Structure 1
Amino acid sequence: MSTIELALRVFIVDDEPPARNRLRDLLHDCSEQLPLEVVGEAGNGQEALDKLMETPADVVLLDIRMPQMDGIELAQHLQKLPKPPVVIFTTAYDSYAINAFELRAIDYLLKPIRLGRLFEALTRARQAVPVQTEVLRDLLPEPRKHLSIHERGKIHLVPIEQVLFLRAELKYVTVRTAEREYLLEESLTAMEKEFAARFVRIHRNCLVAKDAIEGFEKGGGEEGEGSGWMVKLKGLDELLAISRRQQHIVKEFG
């Protein structure tokens, strides 16, 4: 009894329309031997995420160098989809970067992409599993430009430059912008390391954006804890307590 092979659902992400057109042509040629369907395409990370939430894919062909958000960061956000796709990076990177992919067993297609190499990567993708977020972060030398928040079945991208503070509460981190709060399931310690250039710790459970610090006020502080100093952030009425251990920031940023 023979089994019918389901078509591989492929999604293309590249900021250059000619590159997307070339991939479509190559995928059409591959489809003569490998059952596949191109389920969509996008020219940037936000568009890709929005479309992939509505139209799931098995494989995403993902360009690395894109404006606003590069492909490695987008691949991290894609891990939060209900069924994360297998990512095959398309890149014109130099040999040093290619070695980094090979060491971590991450599949890639070197531009200009060849038909045989694409066919080989798609064939392997059927048995592949999504790359772990930690592995992707090792490849990304710079901090993310966005946080991805899973909320009501959707993934929201919050630009890190809009975040005023990050506060750990139980197993979540509250992400506060001028407009609203979000809940994120990540480690505050890991985020402090990743975003060290942008945030400063004011308390064991809270990081604030350095650029958002408007001033400091004497307040009640926390019982058995406080120096009595509170930090005022731009665009926020709430004052945040500074712990005794972190009170040196009053002099540094005051």
Structure 2
Amino acid sequence: MTERLDVLVIDDEKPALDELAYLLERDPRVATVRSCDSAAEALRVLQESDVDAVFLDVQMPGLTGLDLAQVLSRFKAPPPVVFVTAHEKHAVDAFELRAVDYVLKPVRAERLGEAVRRVVEARGPMPGEDVRIPVERGGVTRFVDRSDITHVEAEGDYARLHTAEGSHLVRTPLSSLAEQWAPAGFVRIHRSMLVALPHVQELRSDGGRYVVLVGGRELVVARRHTRELRELLTGTTT
């Protein structure tokens, strides 16, 4: 299960602040809600503690919501930002600051729930949390745990996911998966193949080239990727 969120709510109007905090507290994906009535106060809170998401108004005295979002964008690990405002005209500016959502007042619980979903999605999986990949075959959608995938093979603009039980074609290029799944231990062994490091059973030299044994299959490692793979698998440099 995804870890619940600690969120910070900022609005200079107390009724709007209390209503937003109340709605967020009712959401089962939210653990704690802290409230501030100014962007300056919010900055003090953010310097003292981490939060998982910030919900803030745009128009506030002094430092505006857009100003605060710009400051947050320079944080080493900026929290996802959701703007909650009565004004549509700032939406373009908000999304240029990489806001995950822009919710108009008066706030409806259903619409706020969608914003929370986008925050969860923007944060990505927590450490130790597996990802389920939807795959289609014969009009049926099934789900494959990413941890079960041994290697991934490029097929044009598609990618084939290999598991111990079989393979599945997904409409995602290998280059995208290489970037998205690198934190989960998927590395290139040549331009059209990724392997999952936890599934590598052997790495050996075979007639001047290296091969890895993954899921019972021997896969050739391109020369340009050999050194990096050895270092990742053995923890030593060459």
TM-score, normalized by length of structure 2? 0.49
